[in-house]
Amino acid sequence: MLAQRVAQILQEVGDPEIPTVSIVDLGMVGAIQADGDRVLVELMPTFVGCSAQRIIQDQVTEKLREAFPTSTVAVRFELSQPWTSDRITKEGREALRKAGIAPPGASLDDVECPFCGHSSTVLQNLFGATSCRSLYYCSHCKNPFEAFKPL
């Protein structure tokens, strides 16, 4: 299936800010339509103001053009179905943890430390260096860390 090949290729595109986590595992890939002539991919922004969007769009377009040189490639961000943090896959959550970022919990108080796994964590600031993350402190292992905001 052509659409499956497209999905495989997208698996190699990482978030520019967290390159070890693919945009597929972040749940950012929506509808994929592919036939012999054209490849259409709809992406869902995690946060509207996220500056990584254009970079991701360019990377996806470039990779698909390489893989399907004779097809028309269209990649666009769509809002018709809003991205929510439960779209992050199990693999995505694990990859975030490995990168030192706590995956989103059910609420802002429901965050496990990515280093020691403890849940005795304290929210320090809602806004970290990027839109999608907050700053926390782990009272158990005494490490500051970032956590993905639940949306």
Can residue 151 be called a binding residue for other proteins (CB under 8 A)? yes
96 binds Zn ion (CB under 5 A): no
Q: Give dist(CA 30, CA 135) in Å, integer.
A: 29
Strand duo 72-77 + 38-43: pairing: parallel
Residue 135 binds what, of other proteins, Zn ion, none (CB under 5 to 8 Å, by partner type)? other proteins
Residue 135 binds Zn ion, judged by CB under 5 A: no
Question: Which residues neighbour 130 within 8 Å (Cβ) at sequence distance 6 or greater?
Answer: 17, 50, 51, 52
Residue 47 in contact with other proteins, rule: CB under 8 A: yes
Is 147 one of the binding residues for Zn ion (CB under 5 A)? no
Residue 50 partner contact from Zn ion, other proteins, none using kind-dependent CB cut-offs of 5 to 8 Å: other proteins
Nearer to other proteins, 32 or 135 (CB): 135
φ/ψ of residue 120, rounded to 5? -85, 75
